[in-house]
Structure 1
Amino acid sequence: MRVAQGWVGGGYGSMAIPRIGHEVIISYLEADPDQPLITGRTYHAVNRPPYPLPAYKTRTVIRTQSHKADGFNELRFEDEAGEEQIWVHAQKDLDLLTLNDRTEDIKRDSTLHVFRDRTTDIDRDETRTVHRHEVHTVHGNETHTVDGNQTFTVHKNRRKTVDGNETDRIGKNWSSKVGKNKTETVGKAYLQNVGMGYSLNVRAIMNTLVGLSKSTQVGLNHSLNVGRNITLKAGKQLTLQVGNSRLVLTEDAIYLDAGEIHVKAGTKVHVDGPDDVLLNTGTAQPAPGSAEESDGPEPSDAKSPGW
């Protein structure tokens, strides 16, 4: 049976097929009972409107009903002054297709709640501008992948807090430039491993403070070049040792201990002692810290004539 529709055309228009239980209005073409035509439908005492009347008299509604189920799809227009609204309800899926451009203007706020997963796929570029503040919260894990270059610019301050561990892995070079001051605070140990060269350039003043001990180990050569003065100060003892040769400086004495000692001066050699100058040709007094210090004999009191 033919059913009149609100709008029809060749392959386009609107279509709503009456279902079992609908009350329809039937007309007959040229009063011929063999040519019935449904020209309309109406509500009745059993089939009520989607919203009760007259309470919702300002609503225009297109509501369908799921086949042999309780769901529905709906497009609703509310025209009450001050409460105007367009409401869309999809019982299952909602698919939108735009073959060209799409523009959406929201004059106030916008809220989106996705109860499961969301995927966004952009074939070309994306530009987003936030004119005030932005808050980004991820309760699980987050992964960012950039196949090309990335530029990150902060015009004021930036603060980063990592409650657990952080690992940086850079395949090639890493450059860091600080315009003014930089402070690093490490609660426990600080370890640096450099595969080849390490260069530190301080143009003005450099201070190093170690609370307890400091150890430096060089596998081959160590060179120290000072333009003017150098001062080494030890509270108790300073020791220079090469093989079995030792130069020991204590609070009140200097000890030179070696298999042979050679002193060469271009003009003069001065040895001054306000009281005595002792030369011991026997067993010499060992330097502090040497193996012989505890059991070696005392030096003699022989005075060298002329010294």
Structure 2
Amino acid sequence: MQALYRPPLHHPKPRIFGSQTAVVTGPKDQEIHCDRHGRVKVQFHWDRESNGDDKSSCWLRVSSSWAGNRYGGMTIPRVGMEVLVTFLEGDPDQPLISGCLYHAEHIPPYDLPAHQTRSVFRTLSSPGGNGSNELRIEDRAGQEHIYIHAQRDWDQNIEHEQKIRVGHERHDRVEGNSYSEFKAEEHCTVDGNRLTEVKADDHLTVGGTQHIRVVDGLLAHAGQEIHLKAGNNVVIEAGLEITVKAGDSFIKIDASGVSITGPQMKLNSGGKPTLGTGASPVLPGLVKQAGDKGPGQLLTQRLGEPGPIVELCQKPENGTPMDCPLADCGCRRALLSRGPV
């Protein structure tokens, strides 16, 4: 008895169990290559046919520590980095990147194990790689330290309050200009001495009244001129004595009377008063606003929202997605998007 034998037409889809390493690829002379979803392309070490460019693979999603709708973490693997690729449920058509790997040519930012107590996040300026931003945390006992480096600009935007406490000393150095603006009041208390040196001019403009109270003495010295001018009154009052001195002449006023001493004394003998230079303070420059990247949108629960029904592919048993009778077949669209193989 003879029977016609036909092997089964349904073959199980190949599976890839475990993870593989690959190298991030992109167009020539481009250091970062991704799409709007943050996906990148890779070339596996066993792939001998690809050219290490933007056509070496499909787009691969990149795992993130936090991912919401317009908020979360974002670090894009760059061209040349070695990454760890896993396959969702072993499906070769669903690869994703779960992390990046150091190796002999891509070494950590600091020498190890000499700096094993450091936690570091250092970037690299692109294109060119001539600078970097860095956040470094040193946990070595007795040398704990947090270091922040901005290669260019650093903006802070605090919506409510900022409180800073320094247990010892604080040193600020600005190589260019410094601008401060306070929309309300400014309060400053110094428990010890305040030492200030201005090596050029000092300008002060007060829109209302300025009050100065000195418990002990107020001493002022000008190399050329002191000019006091008031629109109405100038009152100089002392509890014991007032002395006005110029050269060898002086006027002394105290409880005993008024003493005028000088080589000559002239009353109503003509002449003109000396005019002062006058005050013309310069207003400060305007303060630039810090960059504002608004808060992320709240994560929407898409599973609870109504969505379109996607029909399954209805290809014949021995056919391909190109034979599916559906006008809009998802399998056919996916096949066409890959291009010729």
CA 1:40–1:188 in 2, change beyond 3 Å: closer, same or farther?
A: same
CA 1:31–1:167 in 2, change beyond 3 Å: closer, same or farther?
A: same
Give the Cα separation in 2 of the matches to 1:218 and 1:157. 37
Mean Cα deviation higher: 18-27 or 168-177: 168-177
CA 1:184–1:202 in 2, change beyond 3 Å: closer, same or farther?
A: closer
The CA deviation string for residues 42-87 of structure 1, in whole angstroms up to 9 with x for no partner, is 1001111010100100000011111113211111100000110111
Q: State the partner residue of 1:73.
A: 133
Mean Cα deviation higher: 31-40 or 42-51: 31-40
Where structure 1 has 5 or more consecutive residues not aligned to the other structure, the ranges are 191-200, 220-307
Query: Normalised by the size of structure 2, how large is the TM-score?
Result: 0.58
Q: Which amino acid aligns with 1:8?
A: A
- Alignment equivalent of 1:37, drawn from 71, 96, 100: 96
Identity %: 34
2:111 pairs with 1:52: yes
CA apart distance, 1:180: 1.0
Q: State the partner residue of 1:101.
A: 161
Higher helix residue share: 2
Supply the RMSD in Å over aligned alpha carbons.
2.4
Q: Which amino acid aligns with 2:94?
A: Q
Mean Cα deviation higher: 18-27 or 202-211: 202-211
Mapping 1:156-171, distance limit 5 Å: 156-171=216-231
Q: State the partner residue of 1:19.
A: 78
Give the Cα separation in 2 of the matches to 1:206 and 1:168. 23
2:240 pairs with 1:180: yes
CA apart distance, 1:20: 0.9
Q: Which has the higher contact order (CA 8 A, sep 6+)?
A: 2
Q: Which amino acid aligns with 2:83?
A: V
Give the Cα separation in 1 of the matches to 2:145 and 2:261. 71
Q: Which amino acid aligns with 1:112?
A: D
Is 2:241–2:254's contact at 8 Å kept on the other side of the alignment?
no
Q: Which amino acid aligns with 1:14?
A: G
Q: State the partner residue of 1:87.
A: 147
Is 2:125–2:131's contact at 8 Å kept on the other side of the alignment?
yes
Give the Cα separation in 2 of the matches to 1:49 and 1:176. 71
- Number of paired residues? 210
- Alignment equivalent of 1:133, drawn from 184, 193, 212: 193
Q: State the partner residue of 2:171.
A: 111
CA apart distance, 1:207: 4.1
Secondary structure at 1:135 match in 2: coil
Larger radius of gyration: 1
Q: Which amino acid aligns with 1:38?
A: I
Give the Cα separation in 1 of the matches to 2:161 and 2:92. 51
Q: State the partner residue of 1:294.
A: none
Query: Normalised by the size of structure 1, how large is the TM-score?
Result: 0.64
2:206 pairs with 1:146: yes
Give the Cα separation in 1 of the matches to 2:199 and 2:81. 51
Give the Cα separation in 2 of the matches to 1:169 and 1:39. 74
Give the Cα separation in 2 of the matches to 1:168 and 1:205. 25
Give the Cα separation in 2 of the matches to 1:203 and 1:153. 25
CA 1:215–1:94 in 2, change beyond 3 Å: closer, same or farther?
A: closer
Q: State the partner residue of 2:281.
A: none
CA 1:45–1:183 in 2, change beyond 3 Å: closer, same or farther?
A: same
Where structure 2 has 5 or more consecutive residues not aligned to the other structure, the ranges are 1-59, 271-341
